[in-house]
Amino acid sequence: MREKELERLKDYKYGFTTDIESIKAPKGLNEEVIKFISNIKKEPTWMLNWRLKAFERLKVLKEPNWQKPKYPKIDYQDLYYYSAPKSTSDKPKNLEDLDPKILETYNKLGIPLQEQKRLNGIAVDAVFDSVSVATTFKDKLTEKGIIFCSISEAIQKHPDLVKKYLGTVIPITDHFFATLNSAVFTDGSFVYIPPDVRCPMELSTYFRINASDTGQFERTLIIADKGSYVSYLEGCTAPMRDENQLHAANVELIALDNAEIKYSTVQNWYPGDKDGKGGIYNFVTKRGLCKGKNSKISWTQVETGSAITWKYPSCILKGDNSIGEFYSIAITNNHQKADTGTKMIHLGKNTKSKIISKGISAGFSDMTYRGLVDVSPKACNSSNYTQCDSLLMGNKCGAHTVPYIKNKNSESNIAHEATTSKISEEQLHYCQQRGLNSEEAVGLIINGFCKEVLQQLPMEFAVEAQKLVGISLEGSVG
């Protein structure tokens, strides 16, 4: 019995559930639940009204159906929209007061808070099942005037900032999942970097889905004021579970004049077992607005997990001379499906964007790059370069490229390139000749294939990501 359990765990390194009693909102999606969430988070009335307005809109919206990966119908009335570790009601003052079980979970995950606090110099706002449990390194950040806290805290302490920016990039009337998130979001991170401040450390959040049947609805809002810089890391792992879970987060980035935001993600939610049973539905809306002149937003993502990934981190290049970048690695194995890409919307003059996408599919999986480059008539002298390469391993999987290119400005240049191929026999032969076995050889070649993107990740992530790339493709060769 025990051995069996271990066998299961071996497949998915992070597959374990922590046993903590949770406070749950009643099942279902209705005004009462939204009021419950708002009430339990002690939100002001304007916030509740904002949620209810989104909910009104949600009633008329339909789930999108144009995407390639199809999924069984989700019963939105059969989900819990709120669950929090019980100990939240009297929040611990410091790390030592934390529920030891939570600490243990983080240890298994490889992010011991205590260790991290001392060694890494990364402030961690750990989201454990929808509510921020601990936030570290506050002092150092407060010194510089940086606000890094949970969004519910920000709603109470910095209502002006939240009111001004929340929903300006992803309006509450956007699409189904974004609107759903606006109505029922439970927690997430809030970052504000004051003018001319360079954030001294990488900000990072680890998301975890824990209690059974709770879709996680995170909301992240990052504002970089004039001349500031911030690098934000997001990493995800989720426990093993058989039911499909929904994850519909919203991430909004706003860069004002001369500001720069770098947003990196490593996504490794539970992808389902070998037969495609279980796994997370990752339907995320991420959008950045380069609002000011000379601003820059850069997205980097490594997507290896989730049964279905469906996300398009986008940049709206509104300010003149603004820059948008998108670097992505998507790896699918077994029965995973990923439909991911970006949108670069050029509105300002001299705007530039760059898209590098690397897709690898193996097993029975499907990988789609879907992107839009839209140059509006006013975006004079703007340019885009897109490169998307796909690698196929085996003939049971698929790799697709669906770029949309719209050029409405004669002074702009758009270039797009895409290739699809398999690992060349020559390269394999060369590596094997020098003593690597076939799996190591493939790992080496894949890492080379992805190098352009991996380079963009901050140090801490790059190492982890490189390992992930190898782990994700284990057993798919030969």
Query: Which residues contact other proteins by CB under 8 A?
Result: 66, 377, 390, 392-422
| Least distance (Å) between residue 402 CB and other proteins | 5
Two structure tokens written together for 319: 């300010």
Sign of the Cα pseudo-torsion (8, 10, 13, 16, in order): positive
Q: Which amino acid is at 5?
A: E
Residue 428: phi and psi, rounded to 5, are -60, -45
The CB-of-259 to other proteins minimum distance in angstroms stands at 29
Query: For residues 89 and 410, which CB has a smaller minimum distance to other proteins in the complex?
Result: 410
Whether the Cβ atoms of residue 472 and residue 446 lie closer than 8 Å to each other: no
Q: Which two tokens stand for residue 440?
A: 């190591």
Minimum distance of other proteins from residue 66's CB (angstroms): 7
Nearer to other proteins, 189 or 390 (CB): 390
Residue 428 burial by CB count (10 A; 0-12/13-18/19+): exposed, middle or buried? middle
Minimum Å distance from CB 321 to other proteins? 19
Our CB check for other proteins shows the closer of 251 and 414 to be 414
Minimal distance, residue 396 CB to other proteins, in Å? 7
DSSP 330: E
* Dihedral sign of CA atoms 425, 426, 431, 432 in order: positive
Among residues 9 and 415, whose Cβ is nearest to other proteins? 415
| Residue with smaller CB distance to other proteins, 322 or 409 | 409
Q: How far is the CB of 411 from other proteins (least distance, A)?
A: 6
Nearer to other proteins, 278 or 403 (CB): 403
Contacts of 40-45 with C-beta under 8 Å, sequence gap 24+, read 40/82, 40/84, 41/152, 41/155, 41/186, 41/187, 42/156, 43/152, 43/155, 43/156, 44/155, 44/156, 44/159
Contact 33, 43 (CB under 8 A): no
